[in-house]
Structure 1
């Protein structure tokens, strides 16, 4: 009996997992892009969220393959707990990075403001007003009236009070 005959069940299950991963990635990509187009078409943020979701799908696929190929559940739990401990300690040291990434995802899906909006940040120590020119994973780029470029962390945008300043309406002749 050769390798391919002996592990036929595992090979079929691996093929199914790969097929499911490919289909999930395609469906998630289409769903996120459709959501983005229906709210606003910000391609940079859309691609970033798609990358995060693809990473999660890939991690779940690797865990599935480990289970399919017969790695003992106790070994998996020990390995995952060790990885979680190392990542937890590293992220505790870098909590602000994780906070900004999470805030960037929340800003993507909730769309409280978009590129081109003029916002006023109600910070007790440093209030300011600026136009949003880009929203990244970690920070938002704003330009003030004086032309100063401000890089503001996403987690602070969720923590501080924000007002969206509407541009003044131009007087236009009304036609029916």
Structure 2
């Protein structure tokens, strides 16, 4: 066992350093996202979701860096990653709508001008909606119409349609009466 540590001492040290640095970066990102979420009035669940996206990205980066540390040939790494991304690309093309909604959810986390409790009107020619935002999830908005009907509206469509703010924070005002 001691021969193993002696033979791979530098690789082990580099690996530990990379993991510590990426863990620190992840912590900074997660704390920043939570701070942005609190400032913009979003739910903690949405901030946690964005944090998970960042964690998955950092894990993939760690795997790539670790492959270089362990001495894999660049040509081999390129072959593996291109093959994996080709398979993933074909699979993701089949589910592009889901990815579009997830991407829209991330965009909405940072720049959506409305928050839970606001009453909005979505100017959709096929199905116009005027409702209170109950929740903003990874794939869709959960809206409650005045008659009590629950409407789920895909995130990618909400970014494509004109939206009007009818009443700011209508949910808390209607529940406080």
Please state how far the C-alpha of 1:156 moved relative to its aligned partner. 0.4
Gaps of 5+ in 2: 171-177
TM-superposed deviation, 1:143: 0.5
Distance between the aligned counterparts of 2:163 and 2:147, measured in 1?
Answer: 20
The 5-angstrom pairing of residues 26-175 of structure 1 reads 26-166=27-167
Counterpart secondary structure, 2:67: helix
**Structure 2 counterpart of 1:21:** 22
What 5-or-longer segments of structure 1 have no aligned partner? 170-176
- Offset of 1:129 from its aligned partner? 0.5
> Displacement, 1:137?
0.3
* C-alpha displacement of 1:38: 1.6
Aligned-pair Cα RMSD in Å = 1.4
SS at the partner of 1:125?
coil
- TM (norm. structure 1) is 0.91
Deviations 1:65-107 (A, max 9, x none): 1110011111110111111111111111100000000000000
Q: Give 1:111 shift.
A: 2.6
Query: Higher mean Cα deviation, 63-72 or 26-35?
Result: 26-35
**What's the offset of the Cα at 1:148?**
0.4
CA–CA separation in structure 2 for the residues paired with 1:139 and 1:146: 20
- Alpha-carbon separation, structure 2, partners of 1:102 and 1:142: 20
Cα distance, 1:41 vs structure 2: 4.3
Deviation digits for residues 42-62 of structure 1 (CA, Å, limit 9, x no counterpart): 111100000000111111011
TM-score (norm 2): 0.91
Moved over 6 A (4+): none
State the secondary structure of the residue aligned to 1:116. Answer: coil
Q: How far 1:64 sits from its partner (Å)?
A: 0.6
